[in-house]
Amino acid sequence: MVGATGKTGGHTAELLLERGHHVRALVRRVDERSERLAGLGAEIVEGDVLGLDSLAEATKGIDALYFTYPISPGLVDATVNVAQAAEENGVQAIVNMSQISARRETASNAARQHWVAERVLDRFPVAVTHIRPTFFAQWLIDTWADGTGELRLPFADGRHAPIAESDQARVIAAILEDPAPHAGQIYPLYGPVELNHYEIAEKMSRVLGREVTYVPISLDEFRTILEKRGAAEHLIQHLLAVAIDYRNGIFAGTNDLVKTIGGADPLDVESFTALNRASFDLHTA
């Protein structure tokens, strides 16, 4: 697994270990996250997806691979390495994390790279499934991080159905367990209920028992906020471009794939907020 110490990878690794599978996690360094995975039974291998040799070593003897990479430069290089290492080692299946805004004509460099990465993987003789989630529910925690009770986002009154990382993990794990029916598929993934951010804030207020307000902001203000948080230009360029996509409905929609592939109904905003109350409370203090 590449990205096992991240959000979707972490949940997926835990789920596969709970189900009795052998999980090999490629990590860039041993830290408390990898120690935790090791404690749950994962095999930890240090390496880098940008280095073909370490990746080829890490993929020896594995059946199926989950690949996720952050919004950072290097996605296409990493993808080519994954495809090459998988082919060299006879890996039978890859689940590739992409995103809902992945398309050839997007203004986001990262989203275009996701689209190109999908097409690169499609050319290799390995069963590949691309997942294209809408915005993760984790966004609500990250956006809340300043504890003001305000969600300041440049999304106007656009809509999406936030999807929990744990729900994506159930889909990823199910595909890794039985890849054949999913080979060649592109799966857009959504939470259960499409909402705008006024509605999201209202639901969060109800569960958290305090006022949460959505404040629609301009792209310029969003850039300033991201710069203050120290975000890299690659990520800023992506987020500003997809904010326009979001306003134009690219992130909207819902489907039943989490239920039909993952086997259970996805969390809605209320359940996600209730389950993660401690994270919201932490940032309020």
Distance CA 26, CA 13 (A): 11
Q: Min. distance of Cβ 158 from ligand NAP in angstroms? A: 14
Q: Does 70 bind ligand NAP (CB under 6 A)?
A: yes
Q: Which of 1, 2, 23, 126 is close enough to bind ligand NAP by CB under 6 A? A: 2
Please identify, among the stretches 6-14, 35-43, 119-127, 151-159, the one whose residues bind ligand NAP according to the rule CB under 6 A: 6-14
Residue 65, judged by CB atoms within 10 A of its CB (0-12, 13-18, 19+), counts as: buried
Q: How far is CA 138 from the centre of its chain?
A: 9
Distance CA 158, CA 248 (A): 7
Size of the site for ligand NAP (CB under 6 A): 22
Number of H helices, E strands in the chain: 13, 10
**For residue 189, what are its two tokens?**
């993934």
Q: Which of 37, 58, 133, 187 is close enough to bind ligand NAP by CB under 6 A? A: 133
Q: How far is CA 120 from the centre of its chain?
A: 20
Distance CA 6, CA 207 (A): 26
Distance CA 110, CA 90 (A): 29
The SS3 call for residue 72 is coil
* Residues 71-110: x where in contact with ligand NAP by CB under 6 A, - otherwise, as a string: x-------------------------x-x-----------
* Residues 27-66: x where in contact with ligand NAP by CB under 6 A, - otherwise, as a string: -x-------------------xxx----------------
Residue with tokens 């995103």: 99
Q: Which of 67, 135, 272, 280 is close enough to bind ligand NAP by CB under 6 A? A: 135
Residue whose CB is nearest to ligand NAP in the complex, by number: 6
Instruction: Point out which residues bind ligand NAP (CB under 6 A).
Output: 2-3, 5-9, 26, 28, 48-50, 68-71, 97, 99, 133, 135-136, 139
